[in-house]
Structure 1
Amino acid sequence: MRRVDLPAPLPAGSRILHIGLPKTGTSALQASFHAAREELGRRGVDYVSRGANPLSAARFAAGTATGDTARLERRWDRLAEDFRTSTAAHVVLSSEGFSGAAPDRVAWIGDRLGGEATVVVTLRPVAALLPSIWQQALRRGGLESFEEWLAGVLDPAHPHAANIRRYDPAAIIASWGRRFGEDRLVFVCGDPGDPGDRMLNHRTFESLLGIDGVLELQPVLNSSPPYPEIEMLRHFNLANGRGGEDGELWTRVLRRTARRMGDAPPSGAGTAKVRVPRWAAERINEQARESIAALEASAATVVGDPAHLLVDPADHPVETTAPDQVTVVSAGWFADTVARLAVDEVEERAARKVRRLERKVARLAERRRTTTTLDDASARDLLLALARRARRRSRRGR
């Protein structure tokens, strides 16, 4: 392990692949890169994704995507080609979606990106991340209480253990280091208790790129809801049975509801946050010590102090009790938000279907090399009528 305060600048022609990890300041870093595109371009840096975070394409590359895989594959192909063929002095690609890749998929990603790359991994204490990871599970329809979920996550033989396996530096070194070389891995270990380390991710990338003062913090809303409101979300899942046949729709609705609940909670919402209990903090520290040993034994570069992956168990409660009440204001806000977002999702789904049908009609017309005919006009009229009917039905459900 080479431990440094900041890494040395990479030579011209270098490529940087940032694979997260999730909940380690990735959104803030990506927002800063996205906002500084023009200035970065003037400094010879190409941030290749079109948006701040090409998450769906990265998940496809990692083999963890769901949905329209043909469309995602096209996105990934464009992204990989842009990264591979850019002529900029430095090329950067960032998404936590890559971190979910299995070892064979890591090798495939490396081959598709071409050449060599420096792989950057941002870390935080796992004990600080578990409440957010549990809440993500609830947004996907999860039913377990925090204590039940924790017991599974911290049992290596339990399927839930996969939720934190990607946070193990030893596994990252074994898979990403094998393909890209351990000496091309950079781990960033900031101090969660030091406000000055809030910018460590940004300063690390600026140092690697040989620039200064370009990446500035951007307003990013990604806060966790209070514990009582999270429990309300879980009990909605219990009552709703994971959404039944409309599971995908409800997953999208609950994800958006929880985001609004965290970023702009209703007046009268609870203030208690989810805390990892002491027994879990102690067990996580045992795993963190193994992670630190793996880093020390590697040829990777570590920015900061890997000891920051440990937490003080005394700062965690001996016992935790899930809230069983919310205010009527929160309950009313939750019911109204879920209903409105569900209607919005139905309307958007109907609109997407209409657009897909319209594209199919246009492609058929192009293949036949015809101008607009009465039959084509009738098809478009039919599509518009279907869209209007879908909107009327969704409004009746308001």
Structure 2
Amino acid sequence: MARRAYLHIGAPKAGSTYAQHVLWNNRNALKGAGILLPGDRSAHDQAMTDLREVSWRDPRATWTWDRLAAKSREWHGDVIISNEGLGGATAAQAARAVASLRPAEVHIVVAGRDLWRTLPSVWQQGIRSRNIGRFEDWLRTVERGKFETLWENHTPNRMLRRWGDLVSAEQRHLVTLPPPGAPHDVFWHRFAGVVGIPDGLCDLTAPAANASLGAAEIEVLRRVNQALGDRYPHRTPYQEVVKRHLITAVLQRGGNTVRFGVGLDRADWVAELAEQQIKDLRDYPCHIAGDLDDLRPSGMSSTVAPDDLTDAQVLEVAIETIIGLLGQADRLSRRTDASGLARLRGRATRKIGGALRRITRDR
């Protein structure tokens, strides 16, 4: 029976990729210290899609939430389950998840990031998940209060209440992402302190970067999504083809020199939303690792929206993207040729070895 179970449920784009990178890269060290990451990283994702009963669950998935929970209950120390998609669970689904891990002491861990950085990140994540809406149109939808998904699944307030109400106040944790420019390990030390990972146990080198795309690169991807039609539906086919070969292999490695974000004409609106968010969290009893002031936008500056780019700017990056895809195809071809040659060599070696053994026996 697990002693404590920590559910890190989000929010997306709030340090989750970095925290998960460190956790999985140090899985053996953590296990030696009595902290289990049950299954593997894909198991946590598959269990999340099962718990939430999403339509885009991979039909080949083998991990269910019950299987992951059972693996957790077998452990006699502490358990960490981490997937930023868990925050989008309904109240009933969250209750099921928490109940499945008891009688362990269940802790809910939610990360929060300031809205000035969150808003463009959420829109970009949508485009990277096959959405096609323009940035300005999306912002207007948020302004009109018609994009509840933002507040339900991508910011800490509602998910913290939805999950946190299931446990006592001392078992609810909000970890704030420090302002831009802070050392990357600040967030880790906050997160590790919550889940009971001792200082110095984990190697923090070479964190995985979930690189943001520049204005032109994300606009190229948005237009590609539009043109795809019914090809490569979300989620698994899109991840295996478009995300792997276009986004990760090419677009993330491009120039990405023109950054984008919310324009200064909306600075007061974002600041107002942030103050309401901070007030709401201050009124909710929970442990805060960091400071609620971290959720107050800072360093707001003028940016270019993807919608404002000229067709010439988008075309230039589109051409560079095609060149990048040619390089990716070449690398894959060379890798395939090399593996094929290795198989032929292995087959020949086995045949020669067999012939030599037969000759030796005949002698």
Runs of 5+ consecutive residues of structure 2 not aligned to the other structure: 330-363
Confirm whether residue 181 of structure 1 aligns to residue 168 of structure 2.
yes
CA displacement 1:14-69 (0-9 Å, x = unmatched): 22111121111111111111111222122111122323772232132133351345
Q: CA deviation at 1:245?
A: 5.2
In 1, distance between residues paired with 2:327 and 2:197? Answer: 48
Contact 2:7 2:107 (8 Å CA) reproduced: yes
Q: Which amino acid aligns with 1:111?
A: A
The percentage of aligned residue pairs carrying the same residue is: 25
Displacement of 1:247 in angstroms is 3.5
Which secondary structure state, in structure 2, belongs to the residue aligned with residue 117 of structure 1?
A: strand
Once structures 1 and 2 are overlaid, which stretch shifts more, 26-35 or 186-195?
A: 186-195
Cα RMSD for the two superposed structures: 3.1
Give, as a single letter, the amino acid of the residue that structure 2 aligns with 1:77. Answer: D
How many positions carry a matched residue from both structures?
324
TM-score (norm 1): 0.72
Q: Does the CA-based 8 Å contact 1:188-1:303 persist in structure 2?
A: yes
> In structure 1, what is the Cα distance between the partners aligned to 2:180 and 2:4?
33
Partner of 1:166: 153
Amino acid at match of 2:297: V
Q: Report the equivalent of 1:322.
A: 308
For 1:58, the equivalent position in structure 2 comes to 48
Distance change >3 Å, CA 92–CA 74, structure 1 → 2: closer
- Closer/same/farther in 2, CA of residues 100 and 73 from structure 1, 3 Å limit: farther
Determine whether 1:276 maps to 2:265: no
Shift in CA distance, 303/250, structure 1 to aligned 2, threshold 3 Å: closer
Task: Work out the CA distance in 2 between the residues paired with 1:255 and 1:132.
Answer: 16
Separation of aligned partners in 2, 1:222 and 1:113? 30
CA distance in 2, matches of 1:119, 1:278: 35
**Where does 1:1-398 land on structure 2 (aligned, <5 Å)?**
13-51=3-41, 54-64=44-54, 66-68=56-58, 72=61, 74-88=63-77, 90-115=78-103, 116-156=105-145, 158=146, 160-196=147-183, 198-206=185-193, 208-209=195-196, 211-217=198-204, 218-238=206-226, 240=227, 242-244=228-230, 246-248=232-234, 249=237, 252-256=240-244, 257-265=246-254, 269=255, 271-312=257-298, 315-317=300-302, 320=305, 322-324=308-310, 325-326=312-313, 330-335=317-322
2-side partners of 1:33 and 1:250: how far apart? 26
Other structure's SS at 1:331 match: helix
Cα deviation digits, residues 139-194 of structure 1 (max 9, x gap):
333232211111113332x2x33134324443134311221233311101132135
Q: Which digits, 9 at most, give the CA deviation of each residue in 1:225-283, with x for residues without a partner?
A: 22112112222333x1x423554445653323123344311xxx451111111243432
Q: Which residue of 1 aligns with 2:333?
A: none
Contact in 2 for aligned 1:232/1:326 (Cα 8 Å): no
Letter in 2 for 1:22: P
1:191-229: CA deviations, max 9, x gaps? 213523643234431464151212333431320122112
